[in-house]
Structure 1
Amino acid sequence: MWLFDLDNTLHDASHAIFPLISANMNAYIARVLGDGVTEASAEQVNAARLGYWKRYGATLLGMMRHHQVGAADFLRETHDLADLQQLIRAECGLARMLRSLPGRKILLTNAPSRYSRDVMRHLGLQRHFSHHVAIENMQVHGQLRPKPSKLMLRRLLRRHGVSAHRCILVEDTLANLRSASQLGVRTVWVTQYLRCSDPIGQASLPRMLKRPAYVDVKVKSVRQLPARLHRLR
């Protein structure tokens, strides 16, 4: 079974989408952290975004835990993107690549459902995936547990009746790959869109693009996966 990330894995979110999400997120956090009259400063906003992202793996979790923000409201506001189709940049041949890979494919994304379904529809890839797991679906015991949560991933594998060693995660984010590898999931690191690999607003590139030990296969593009299958068996 394959688990595919969406942003900066199946398409280039850094090109136009992440900068807009980043601006929306900054505006939202500035309002929440403000005093009701004056918005929080850029320094306060950046500190909160980066701090919560590093601590929890997602800025949303920090906003929920420390500022009583509703997940649905946060996701709706931050992913409110006009003309989404015009913002998407992706390679040709993705559908052909997905057809050539043996086994079930599940989309596993920390993005919200409405946004991720819209992106997949514009990419024309939705029919190649048996399930679509967005951040709203990543609940464990009533708590939101997005990637890199091992608890969420264990539950997902159990629900689909697949052992970890028979599953492959394809991702751009090293923290998510590390967590999956610790469970025994095989890992593929996609690097070509890493100039800004998360919507924090600042480039979060690894210091080196050297393959870590917990990454089984490193590819520039997901289109290289069929040629690297022998390394994942």
Structure 2
Amino acid sequence: MPSSHVLSRRRRAPRARTEYGTRGPVWLFDLDNTLHRASHAIFPRINRAMTAYIAEKLGLSRDEANHLRFSYTERYGAVLLGLIKHHAIDPHEFLARVHELPPLVEVLRAERGVARLLAGLPGRKILLTNAPAHYALPIVEALGIRRYFERCVSIEDMADRRAWRAKPDAIMLRRLLVREGLAPHRTWLVEDTRSHLKHLRHFGIKTVWITGHLPIRNSHGDVMPRSGRPHYVDIKVQSLRELRARLATGVLAQAARQSNPYR
């Protein structure tokens, strides 16, 4: 699925070599609750819209629709995939209907100086989000960080001829690594979602769990896990600012050595 927002390979590769060199790290950044606080106002609106859509299309009560939304997210990584698999809904209609937002100035919240912090991270940067492009790109633009990403991979870009895909789909990540020429041991996935980090770390990539934007409780009222560092997480931080600070201490190289001692 070609997208107008994707920079061509011809333009990407030279910039990566000249700015960062060929041996620098590559950052795969999630968007929601990683680069901005989606749990503040955006996620509640999207969750309500998803529940309303499911209830309307499937003839369910609000509680039944809400339960289905939550279970499909847990099972497939994205509500959309469950709805396609079990109910044959129109994916484009779903994405358009549930990602309608008011002016971003009313709902967008992010870490102070997010653009400066992102600019200070050495290496290439790719946005990898389960959100649609028409939602993700305006947020990236509003945050002032679009120019730091050589490529934005949305859920439409993850699809292939056989199926729609989303994180933590293994086929999707394998193809991304090959297409972008990424060495797993130099690739870092920065995410708020632990299940994505857990499943995708099997490829040999490094993982950063960012927790500062996570809500205290999920939509079911359950306490969100934020303490401890799971074994599949190489670096756990509260914010981009903390990640920058820890990189200055050499934690990037240390984590790489610990997870790949024979490198």
TM-score by length of 2: 0.82
Which residue pairs with 2:144 in the alignment? 124
> Which of 1 and 2 has greater Rg?
2
Q: How does 1:141-152 map to 2 (within 5 A)?
A: 141-152=161-172
**Is the 8 Å Cα contact of residues 118 and 240 (structure 2) preserved in structure 1?**
no
- Determine which of 102, 106, 120 is the counterpart of 1:82: 102
- CA–CA distance in structure 2, aligned partners of residues 205 and 73 of structure 1: 32
- Shift in CA distance, 41/110, structure 1 to aligned 2, threshold 3 Å: same
Post-superposition offset of 1:212 = 0.2
Structure 1 position 164 matched with structure 2 position 189: no
- Determine which of 197, 210, 216 is the counterpart of 1:190: 210
**Is the 8 Å Cα contact of residues 211 and 226 (structure 2) preserved in structure 1?**
no
- CA–CA distance in structure 1, aligned partners of residues 179 and 160 of structure 2: 12
Which residue pairs with 2:23 in the alignment? none
TM-score by length of 1: 0.92
**Is the 8 Å Cα contact of residues 216 and 224 (structure 2) preserved in structure 1?**
no
- Determine which of 17, 20, 31 is the counterpart of 2:56: 31
- CA–CA distance in structure 1, aligned partners of residues 112 and 242 of structure 2: 13
Structure 1 position 7 matched with structure 2 position 7: no
- Determine which of 85, 90, 112 is the counterpart of 1:70: 90
Most deviating of 135-144 and 2-11: 135-144
Most deviating of 45-54 and 111-120: 45-54
Which residue pairs with 2:22 in the alignment? none
Post-superposition offset of 1:130 = 0.3
- Determine which of 51, 61, 82 is the counterpart of 2:81: 61
Percent of paired sites with the same residue: 49
2:135 corresponds to which letter in structure 1? Answer: Y
Post-superposition offset of 1:201 = 3.3
**Is the 8 Å Cα contact of residues 110 and 135 (structure 1) preserved in structure 2?**
yes
- CA–CA distance in structure 1, aligned partners of residues 216 and 48 of structure 2: 14
Structure 1 residues 118-152: Cα deviation after superposition (integer angstroms, max 9, x where no partner): 10111111001000001111124431110011211
Which residue pairs with 2:43 in the alignment? 18
The count of corresponding residues between Structure 1 and Structure 2 is 226
Q: Which secondary structure state, in structure 1, belongs to the residue aligned with residue 230 of structure 2?
A: coil
Q: Which secondary structure state, in structure 2, belongs to the residue aligned with residue 212 of structure 1?
A: coil
